[in-house]
A and B are shown apart, each in its own frame.
Chain A
Amino acid sequence: MPSTAKDRLFEVYETYRKAKESRELDWRDATTLAQVQKIQKNVVNLETAYLKAAASALDANGAAIEEAYESAKSARETMEAAYEEAKALPERIRAVSDAAKKVAGLVKKASAKL
């Protein structure tokens, strides 16, 4: 069954929420200012994607959107796994960064207007 706009908005928010919840752990492990800033930037980017998604209401449908939705969902699962498996900080930052990119791609494709 294809995803609905509600599913997609939920997916975008969940990725943001989980990255935000995990950032304290990441900051604890950070050893450089660059890492600290990257962790913050990933969370801010995910929040921005959510705010855009809510404003534009994700009305569009189609195969490209389904692909972007599945891709964002899979990136979020990879991100969650990185924390569950207690991966090293650089890997966790990469996973959140990848999820942020995939979520931004989903928002761009699924938004009727941005």
Chain B
Amino acid sequence: MKIRAAILVATALCSAGCVSAPRGPASALADMGIRTSASLGSGIRSTADDVSNVGVSNAFASTWRLCNANPQLCQPTQADAANFAARQKLAGAINLRAQAVNALEEAYGVLEQEASYDAKGDLQGAVGDAVSAVNKYSDFVLAAPGGQIIGNQAGKIVSAVAGILAEGRQKKRLLEASRLIQASATQLHDGLKAEAAIYESIQGYVVDSQTDARIALYDAGLVSRAQFLVPMSRDLGVDLLNNADRTLDGNSPQANAARTAVVAVIRAEAQAEAERVRARYQASVAALNALVDAHKSFEGDQSVSTERVSRVLAELDAIIDDPQAD
């Protein structure tokens, strides 16, 4: 990894003087693009999965609450077909972003293949797929609060330069590919920024629903109660007793007090989780913005600095690796 980083930094030295194909900077750009889109994609896919899964955890939580509150009228509760359809539609809309990001990642992959190994991949096909997937996603984003009309310029550019991508000299191909991918990355960045409030709301819905289900499982005594105290005790530098679960399951006033306190911990962790997913989203948008700037620099004088994107990606990784998320 360190060798790879050194190569990437070295590629930043190539500037306007590059007469031959700027393969080093193009490779560095592609590498940043792959890392940014991979990180962004995993966050988006995870949110779409979470929205789908909430239907199942809701069924448990609502049935448990009904039967606990009124054992005489206990029966399984479930959502109806309209709820299922609305949930799937929302998960599908979120997945449009994942498809767009995946296509972008593919395009960066082909760019890296050509730049790093001088292997001519299907640049035209990969870039065309990225443009088309991002445009499809934009159709949804146009309805977002603060959303703006994002033109289909990239699609037009693809047809105009198809010949260059297919047949042109390598330097020209790399620069044109960068321009096209940049148009899609910009479109994706603008869309994600415009819909931040909606995304935040959806993530809040997921966190609230998961917390409700965790507390229902906890109240039902179906999961280890002490496990919810592990992150807190780790932060405090203390070890939980091996028999902490037995203490929490007891009937003494102390056990009741401890159980209530654990529920408070679950709720507090949910708040921290909501803040973490919000920060992750913002960092993803910032990484995409830095990537767009790196494209501009590459297209201007064929130099690429990896510093800013790497810094934002490191921040993103720190949020993802936050032990509180365990």
Contact = CB atoms under 8 A, between A and B. Distances in A.
A and B interact: yes
A93 interface: no
A104 to B, nearest CB: 10
Interface residues of B, number: 36
Given A9-B197, A51-B83, A51-B89, A57 B147 contact: yes
Contacts of A57: 140, 143-145, 147, 195, 198
Q: Dominant SS at the B interface?
A: helix
B86 A48 contact: yes
A51 B91 CA distance: 9
B135 to A, nearest CB: 17
B222 interface: no
Contacts of A27: 65-66, 69-70, 73
Interface in A75-104: none
A108 interface: no
B83 A44 contact: yes
A54 to B, nearest CB: 5
Interface in B122-158: 140, 142-147
Nearest to B67: A27
A49 to B, nearest CB: 8
B83 A4 contact: no
A9 B201 contact: yes
A52 B143 CA distance: 13
Given A27-B70, A58-B145, A36 B75 contact: yes
Given A40-B62, A55-B93, A28 B83 contact: no
A36 B195 contact: no
B24 to A, nearest CB: 42
Q: Which of A4, A10, A47, A59 has the most CB of B within 10 A?
A: A47
Interface in B175-220: 195, 197-198, 201-202, 204-205, 208, 212
A4 B205 contact: no
B201 A23 contact: no
A48 B83 contact: yes
A13 interface: yes
Contacts of B201: 6, 9-10, 13, 54
A52 B70 contact: no
Contact of B145 (A4, A50, A51): A4
A33 interface: yes
Nearest to A17: B208
B82 interface: yes
B211 to A, nearest CB: 12
B89 A55 contact: yes
B79 A59 contact: no
B198 A54 contact: yes
Interface string B21-57: 0000000000000000000000000000001000000
A24 B145 contact: no
Interface in B219-238: none
Contacts of A58: 143, 145
B145 A59 contact: yes
Contacts of B204: 13
Interface of A: 4-6, 9-10, 13, 17, 20, 23-25, 27-28, 30, 32-33, 36, 40-41, 43-44, 47-48, 50-52, 54-59, 112-113
Given A48-B83, A54-B198, A112-B142, 13 more contacts: A5-B145, A13-B201, A13-B205, A24-B65, A36-B73, A40-B66, A43-B62, A44-B80, A44-B83, A47-B79, A51-B86, A55-B90, A112-B143
17 contacts: A5-B146, A5-B198, A13-B204, A20-B212, A28-B70, A36-B66, A43-B62, A44-B80, A47-B79, A48-B82, A48-B83, A51-B87, A52-B86, A54-B198, A57-B145, A58-B143, A59-B145
Query: What 3 A-B pairs are tightest by C-beta distance, nearest first?
Result: A5-B145, A51-B86, A59-B143
